[in-house]
Structure 1
Amino acid sequence: MAYVAEIWRHPIKSHGREALLNVTLRAGECLPFDRHWAVAHDAARIEDPDQWASCSNFSRGAKAPLLMALDAQFDRASNTITLTHPAKPGITFNPDRLEDHPRFIEWITPLCPTNRAAPARIVKADRGMTDTGFPSVSLINLASHAAVEAQIGQALSPLRWRGNLCLAGLSAWDEKGWIGKRIRVGEIEMDIREEITRCLATTANPNTGERDADTLGALEQGWGHQEFGVYGYVTKPGAIHIDSPVEVIK
Structure 2
Amino acid sequence: MTISLATINRYPIKGLKAQSLESARLSSSKGLIGDRLFSLARGSAGYSLPHHIPPAAISILDLENEERLAKLEARYDDDNQTLQLLRSGQERPLAQARVDTPLGRSLISQFFADFLGDSRRGLPRLIDSEEALAPSDWVSLINLASLSDIERVARQKLDPARLRANLWIEGARAWEERDWNGSRFRLGEAVLQVTAPLDCSSSANVNPREAQRDINLPLLMRKGFMHQQVGVQLTVLEGGRIQQGDRLLPFTQ
> Which TM-score band applies after superposition, normalised by the shorter structure?
0.7 to 0.9
Distance 1:29 1:41 in 2: 25
AA partner of residue 128 (structure 2): K
Which whole-Å deviations, capped at 9, do the CAs of 1:31-85 have from their partners, x for residues lacking one?
A: 1110111122227xxxxx59xx79x942101111121232222223331111122
- Of the candidates 121, 124, 130, which is equivalent to residue 128 of structure 2? 124
Larger radius of gyration: 2
Partner residue in 2 for 1:93: 97
Distance 1:177 1:184 in 2: 17
Instruction: Map 1:135-174 onto structure 2 (within 5 A).
Output: 135-174=137-176
Partner residue in 2 for 1:68: 70
Distance 1:80 1:35 in 2: 15
Partner residue in 1 for 2:210: 208
In the TM superposition, residue 7 of structure 1 has moved relative to its aligned partner by: 0.5
Instruction: Map 1:15-54 onto structure 2 (within 5 A).
Output: 15-42=16-43
SS in 2 for 1:39: strand
Distance 1:60 1:33 in 2: 18
Distance 2:248 2:101 in 1: 39
In the TM superposition, residue 103 of structure 1 has moved relative to its aligned partner by: 3.3
Structure 1 range deviating more: 118-127 or 181-190: 118-127
Alpha carbons of structure 1 residues 133 and 79: separation in structure 2 relative to 1, 3 Å: closer
Which whole-Å deviations, capped at 9, do the CAs of 1:147-205 have from their partners, x for residues lacking one?
A: 11111111111111111110000111111111222122122111111112222211111
Distance 1:125 1:110 in 2: 21
In the TM superposition, residue 118 of structure 1 has moved relative to its aligned partner by: 4.6
SS in 2 for 1:216: helix
AA partner of residue 28 (structure 2): A
Alpha carbons of structure 1 residues 25 and 115: separation in structure 2 relative to 1, 3 Å: same
Alpha carbons of structure 1 residues 77 and 237: separation in structure 2 relative to 1, 3 Å: closer
Instruction: Map 1:213-224 onto structure 2 (within 5 A).
Output: 213-224=215-226
Q: How much identity, in percent, do the aligned residues show?
A: 25
Alpha carbons of structure 1 residues 194 and 118: separation in structure 2 relative to 1, 3 Å: farther
Alpha carbons of structure 1 residues 127 and 39: separation in structure 2 relative to 1, 3 Å: closer
Native 8 Å contact 1:25 1:31 kept in 2: yes
Structure 1 range deviating more: 142-151 or 112-121: 112-121
Instruction: Structure 2: state its 5+ residue gaps.
Output: 45-50
2:174 is the counterpart of 1:175:
no
Native 8 Å contact 1:72 1:83 kept in 2: yes
Distance 1:122 1:36 in 2: 10
Distance 1:118 1:224 in 2: 40
Native 8 Å contact 1:67 1:111 kept in 2: no
Q: How many residues align?
A: 240
Partner residue in 1 for 2:199: 197
Distance 2:196 2:121 in 1: 29
Distance 1:126 1:67 in 2: 20
SS in 2 for 1:58: strand
